[in-house]
Amino acid sequence: MDTRLIDVHDDEVCARAYDVIIASKDHQRPWHQPPSLAETLVEWRHVDEAERMEMWGAWDGDELIGVATIWLPMSDNTSMAWHDVQVDPAHRRRGAGSALLDRIVARAREESRPTLVTDLMVPADADDHAYRRFAEKHGYHLSNTEIMRHLSLPVAEDLLGTYADRARARWEGDYRLETHVGGVPPELQPSLCAVMNQLAVDAPTGDIDFEEESLTPERYEEYLELFRQQGRVRLTTVAVHEATGDVVAYTDLMLPSGAPSVAWQWGTLVHKAHRGRRLGMAVKVENLRRLQTDHPERQRVVTGNDDTNSWMVSINEDLGFRIVELCPAYQRKL
């Protein structure tokens, strides 16, 4: 099994790499709705100074049968390397996954990254699933488990109205809610970035030791441009503290262009000093309402929450999210 770096500017190799990754991610997951090749290529070809990315292929003769991706954060969490290994289901159990993982471990050593983190998608009732066995065989241990839930749309307006009203009674007067399409305006970006940077340290992540992130307004704008090029729509609802004009809570939905029936729930966070006012529920309901009004083609929201994050999980369960699968994170210390 030969492993070689994938040239992200080679259209033919990229198309095959995309097919391998999607065949692997689709395997036994009929609900999976992947982004298109076009939007994926934009991401692969975008050079992110804050996070270097490399893709490695496993070739059996001249056939590409597996792809590993490694991400190296450059401005925070610099002792870490996250990665993903996907092998075409028709070519599994022949050593491609192991060859790719060996390559990733070698690259992490070369880059002086002692902490390797990866996550898997497995059924909720399979503790000894093949993907877990693969990770454990290679010296990884289970560090954290996110539960993946889906919400069928539309959610009844009277349910949303009830939760919105109950929340409003707790925050009204001190905050205002704003929903923005394609990113928040420049005056809100510094405080939004500060709140977003708390997510990795505030949300429970098991025994993975994340540092605070270092998103800046410049990089936030760069990502907005990337999403525009991908044809993606980002819906962001923020709570602004009237006294200071700062964003103190946010939630983000991302609408992929190539998977027109789904919306991905990205981060939601309420700043520590402003918790207990139902701002989390308030921003989520407001964002969902905008999603339903402006994008009736979206039939499902996909989200993942740490199984110990009872606060976020209870909001999601109230809104009607239901468990579909698990996303355990595995870690290896070199």
Question: Which residues contribute to the site for ligand COA (CB under 6 A)?
Answer: 24, 66, 85-87, 92-98, 118, 120, 130-131, 133-135, 137
CB of 147 or CB of 238, closer to ligand COA: 147
Pairing of strands 322-333, 141-152: antiparallel
CB of 72 or CB of 283, closer to ligand COA: 72
Residue 1 beta carbon to ligand COA: minimum distance, rounded to whole angstroms: 9
CB of 9 or CB of 137, closer to ligand COA: 137
Residue 122 beta carbon to ligand COA: minimum distance, rounded to whole angstroms: 8
The residue sitting closest to ligand COA, measured at its beta carbon, is: 97
Residue 317 beta carbon to ligand COA: minimum distance, rounded to whole angstroms: 27
What is the distance between the alpha carbons of residues 53 and 76, in angstroms, rounded to a whole number? 15
CB of 96 or CB of 167, closer to ligand COA: 96
Residue 131 beta carbon to ligand COA: minimum distance, rounded to whole angstroms: 3
- Distances, alpha carbon 86 to alpha carbons 58, 67, 236, 251, 323, in Å: 10, 5, 31, 30, 24
Among candidate residues 142, 170, 98, the one with its CA nearest the CA of residue 330: 142
Residue 125 beta carbon to ligand COA: minimum distance, rounded to whole angstroms: 16
Strand partners, 68: 56, 85
The residue assigned the tokens 């290679």 is 138
Query: Is the distance from CB of 309 to CB of 203 less than 8 angstroms?
Result: yes
What is the distance between the alpha carbons of residues 253 and 234, in angstroms, rounded to a whole number? 6
What is the distance between the alpha carbons of residues 83 and 79, in angstroms, rounded to a whole number? 14
Residue 93 beta carbon to ligand COA: minimum distance, rounded to whole angstroms: 4
CB of 85 or CB of 184, closer to ligand COA: 85
CB of 91 or CB of 271, closer to ligand COA: 91
Q: Which burial class, exposed, middle or buried, applies to 110 when counting CB atoms under 10 A from its CB (0-12, 13-18, 19+)? A: exposed
